[in-house]
Structure 1
Amino acid sequence: MCNSELDQNGSSFLAGTDSIRFIGRSDLESTFVSSDRTLPTAQPAVFNISGHETSEYIVDADHSAIIAPIKASELVGLDGIANQEIFAFNVRGPLGKTQVNRDIAKSIADDSKHKLFPLFHNGITIIAESVNRTDDEITVDKYFVVNGCQSLNALYKNGRHITDNLRILTKFIQTPPASKLSEMITRISNNQNGVKARDFKSNNQIQIRLQNEFETLYPGRYFFEIKRGEDAKGVAVISNELAGQYLMSFDLKAPWSTHRKYQIFEDKHSDLFGRPSVTAHKIVLCHVIATTIQEHQASINNELFSKYILTRFFILYIVRLILESDDTASNVLNAPEQYIHHEGATNAFVSTIGKLLDEVITDLNAEIDQLADDFDYRGKLRDEQWCNTLAHEIAATHKKLVSRGRMESFGDLFAQQVALADS
């Protein structure tokens, strides 16, 4: 791998060497996926503070904060609320009609409470590249809201109720929005009840890179949601939380841990998402398999076991064991894009996985039917030894059937499905 191109000597050498692949500047540039957000540009915003006291705290020449009661009518006029771009660095998007949001909307609709609003509302925090104040105005440029997303969205949606008496205590912090300090301010100021570990990873570079990769590779097909409340614009959503559960089952081979969602964005985050093999293609592959599993779960005889969410991840683990033991399926793990990037291949892949699942669920029914109807399925699916033993037994049975010619390999099944699609 090199940041320049191959010369004639290198080309001549590689012509007789099959075991070396050269990746040069053009390859790197054409496949690069940024881990930075594409930030919107907005006009500077001006707020009228005439007749109102403000408080200023100066850290140094480059960092300062101003707190002022700002008219709600001016806040809802900020660029980027309608398309949510102003909340690019916030840990969450709008969460809809939660109880908190309903209470905010109720207060906005009651104009008798407007003068009291700063007394019971926590306020809004705006990070900006520059913050300038005169006696009458505060001007901010290159700004983003990092705390107060729910409130500002509620104000925007209930704009018809806003009066001149409705002001919000707003903290303007001068620091680059993409800086480490901005990240720390966002994280700590949002450290309150109702904020999940997942929310604090919404600005993580790994997550942003994966989201950018989805936008490049699967536009109009899948949206990778890294922030609760993001607008997917009608595209099928794969949340990073669900992706973490997929990867825990399929890659880390630990389906019994998938109920511990907090681990996905805490101690397991790097193990799950930080590996080079974790790409948009890998996540979509897992999603396609898991969706196919969900469609086949109704064939499980034990209804409670069938409907339990961990069952899907357990079967995903079984499918992984089957694929890795089948030499004809090696490309599924090493080059998943060959199977799910284009519609025709995806349809053939889904049909092939469906045929494997018919056998898997037959074997699973044979095992589960031996247990009492009221067996502790929740406990079993969280039991590493039970899951491992049963999954390996089913995968080993599949391998024996293939080796004895009683069942076709993954490669043969996939080739048949491709041929059917072409005929």
Structure 2
Amino acid sequence: LNIAGTQVVVAAIPLRECINIPGIKDGTLFQKNVRQSLGLNNAVNKGIKNTIYSDKHRDFFFFHNGITAICNKLELQDQKLKLNGLSVVNGCQSLNTIISCSERIKTLDDTFVLFRFYEIPQRERADRISINTNSQSAVKPRDLRSNDKRVLNLKKLFEQKYPSGYFITKRGEQAPADKDKNYVLDLSDLGKYLIAWHSKRPNVSYSEAKIFDKYFEQLFKREYKPENAQALNFWMKELLKSWTDENPLGMNETLLAMKAYAPYHHLYAISMCFAISNNESDRVPNPGRCLEKAQQNGMVDEIINISGRSVNMALEAAANEVQPQGKIFSPHNWIKAKTCLAGINFAIHNYFSMLPMLPGGQELSKRLKEILALGNEDFEYRWEAD
């Protein structure tokens, strides 16, 4: 077929032929898909598997939405289809599930799946097709951003800067086993770090949907240095060592129980330690420079301790405030509200003010001031995300 100037082939392909398609197991067939395999626990994938193993397997063709694949060039001669630059843009979940059922499928002669092949050499058009055809498994905003040119550029820069590292862009994607886990960074996590640090909104970090929908253009509109991305990655990995059952910082158990939300406030507090110490509370410090200064002086753990305890003090202070009549303090509501940030900032201010008065505090206060000192060029205004 020729539709809108595009060569199209629609075919019923036996499932047993699908398991021979190269690039499924290593994921190379799905480079233009918005996500990788989500595993057999996904509800849709369970349904596909159940159909294959049931006595209704012959109806697979009718039950399934089909698979969409694009290529740079296709030729159909004598009932043989030759494809160049093949990529599946909708059907990653299905093909991976089919592969997982290969022993069963080898016994099926009369089970087919619908394939649509499009000759689409244009990159932008291919991306639009990938986004618009992905509806069989629920597609999240993060999935739709995985092939964004800014995201792919950041992945390229990050992996060039850190050859032993890996930047994960797609849900379900795994870093190769030979990569250094300390330099593995997930796009979803980076979005949460950016909004906590650069937008000063850790209370929004819990919402992946908002980050990759409402705030994506604000967070990813500029070229971001891989050194800063890795600095945020490092800070987060290090501070999470405090969010364990051992509770080394002696945090309130209620705070510790909010591990899905509160560590982003801890990351925010690290940035505010530098900002407040430099009298730059309204601006945002460069995360790479912050890490550089902390590492050079062996103060990473100390800064993590100060910032973590400040978040804890802010929560306990809020819990002890008199509540409006009939209301009960809710830690979960507090951690998700923008008003909690003022409490964290006050706790940091209070720590720095009180430190010189404590035994041995003058020396530590002086050292901290020197270590936390940054130049004016190391600060910028926060990225709007309101």
- For 2:98 and 2:13, the matched residues in 1 are separated by 13
Task: Specify whether residues 105 and 338 from structure 1 end up closer, same or farther in structure 2 by C-alpha distance, changes over 3 A only.
Answer: same
Q: Deviations over 1:182-230 (max 9, x none)?
A: 111111111355110111011101111121223222233x432110111
- Identical residues among aligned pairs (%): 23
Give the deviation of 1:99 after TM superposition: 2.7
Task: Specify whether residues 363 and 339 from structure 1 end up closer, same or farther in structure 2 by C-alpha distance, changes over 3 A only.
Answer: closer
- For 1:397 and 1:338, the matched residues in 2 are separated by 21
- For 1:311 and 1:128, the matched residues in 2 are separated by 45
Amino acid at match of 1:336: G
1:359 aligns with 2:306: yes
**Which SS does the other structure have where 1:133 is aligned?**
strand
The answer for unaligned runs of 5 or more in structure 2 is 322-327, 357-361, 373-386
> Which residue number corresponds to residue 204 of structure 1?
148
- For 1:218 and 1:366, the matched residues in 2 are separated by 37
> Which residue number corresponds to residue 312 of structure 1?
263
Task: Specify whether residues 105 and 367 from structure 1 end up closer, same or farther in structure 2 by C-alpha distance, changes over 3 A only.
Answer: closer
Contact 1:301/1:369 (CA < 8 Å) preserved in 2? no
Give the deviation of 1:380 after TM superposition: 1.1
Task: Specify whether residues 410 and 271 from structure 1 end up closer, same or farther in structure 2 by C-alpha distance, changes over 3 A only.
Answer: farther
- For 1:85 and 1:211, the matched residues in 2 are separated by 16
Give the deviation of 1:399 after TM superposition: 4.3
- The counterpart of 2:329, out of the listed 347, 369, 375, is 375
- The counterpart of 2:345, out of the listed 386, 392, 396, is 392
Deviates more, 1:68-77 or 1:369-378: 369-378
Amino acid at match of 1:153: N
Q: Deviations over 1:11-44 (max 9, x none)?
A: xxxxxxxxxxxxxxxxxxxxxxxxxxxxxxxxxx
Equivalent runs, 1:206-245 vs 2, <5 Å: 206-220=150-164, 222-234=165-177, 235=179, 236=181, 237-245=184-192
**Which SS does the other structure have where 2:200 is aligned?**
coil
Contact 2:15/2:98 (CA < 8 Å) preserved in 1? yes
1:292 aligns with 2:250: no
- For 1:117 and 1:362, the matched residues in 2 are separated by 57
Equivalent runs, 1:39-50 vs 2, <5 Å: none
Contact 1:401/1:407 (CA < 8 Å) preserved in 2? no
Give the deviation of 1:152 after TM superposition: 0.8
Deviates more, 1:313-322 or 1:234-243: 234-243
**Which SS does the other structure have where 1:140 is aligned?**
strand
Contact 1:122/1:169 (CA < 8 Å) preserved in 2? yes
Task: Specify whether residues 114 and 232 from structure 1 end up closer, same or farther in structure 2 by C-alpha distance, changes over 3 A only.
Answer: same
1:133 aligns with 2:61: no
Q: Deviations over 1:46-68 (max 9, x none)?
A: xxxxxxxxxx34322xx122211
Contact 1:318/1:394 (CA < 8 Å) preserved in 2? no
Give the deviation of 1:267 after TM superposition: 2.5
> Which residue number corresponds to residue 202 of structure 2?
255
> Which residue number corresponds to residue 303 of structure 1?
253
- For 2:307 and 2:250, the matched residues in 1 are separated by 10
1:122 aligns with 2:65: yes
TM-score by length of structure 1 reads: 0.73
Give the deviation of 1:96 after TM superposition: 0.9
- For 1:228 and 1:216, the matched residues in 2 are separated by 22
Amino acid at match of 1:382: K
- For 2:306 and 2:212, the matched residues in 1 are separated by 35
> Which residue number corresponds to residue 407 of structure 1?
365
- For 2:337 and 2:289, the matched residues in 1 are separated by 33
Contact 1:128/1:144 (CA < 8 Å) preserved in 2? yes
- For 1:195 and 1:365, the matched residues in 2 are separated by 36
Q: Deviations over 1:284-322 (max 9, x none)?
A: 211222222222242244212222122111121111111
> Which residue number corresponds to residue 272 of structure 2?
321
- RMSD of Structure 2 on Structure 1 (CA): 3.1
1:336 aligns with 2:288: yes
- For 2:4 and 2:239, the matched residues in 1 are separated by 56
- For 1:406 and 1:119, the matched residues in 2 are separated by 71
Q: Deviations over 1:368-414 (max 9, x none)?
A: 444259731111122212x2321221332344467865524447569
> Which residue number corresponds to residue 380 of structure 2?
none
> Which residue number corresponds to residue 359 of structure 2?
none
- The counterpart of 1:195, out of the listed 130, 139, 148, is 139
Task: Specify whether residues 351 and 328 from structure 1 end up closer, same or farther in structure 2 by C-alpha distance, changes over 3 A only.
Answer: farther
- For 2:333 and 2:279, the matched residues in 1 are separated by 35
- For 2:369 and 2:251, the matched residues in 1 are separated by 29
Contact 2:65/2:114 (CA < 8 Å) preserved in 1? yes
Deviates more, 1:374-383 or 1:356-365: 356-365
Q: Deviations over 1:116-166 (max 9, x none)?
A: 221111111110112222352222211100110011112222222223322
Task: Specify whether residues 168 and 263 from structure 1 end up closer, same or farther in structure 2 by C-alpha distance, changes over 3 A only.
Answer: same
- For 2:44 and 2:120, the matched residues in 1 are separated by 30
Contact 2:269/2:310 (CA < 8 Å) preserved in 1? no
TM-score by length of structure 2 reads: 0.80
1:87 aligns with 2:33: no
Contact 2:269/2:308 (CA < 8 Å) preserved in 1? no
Equivalent runs, 1:53-132 vs 2, <5 Å: 56-60=1-5, 63-97=6-40, 98-110=42-54, 112-132=55-75
For this pair of structures, how many residues does the alignment match? 346
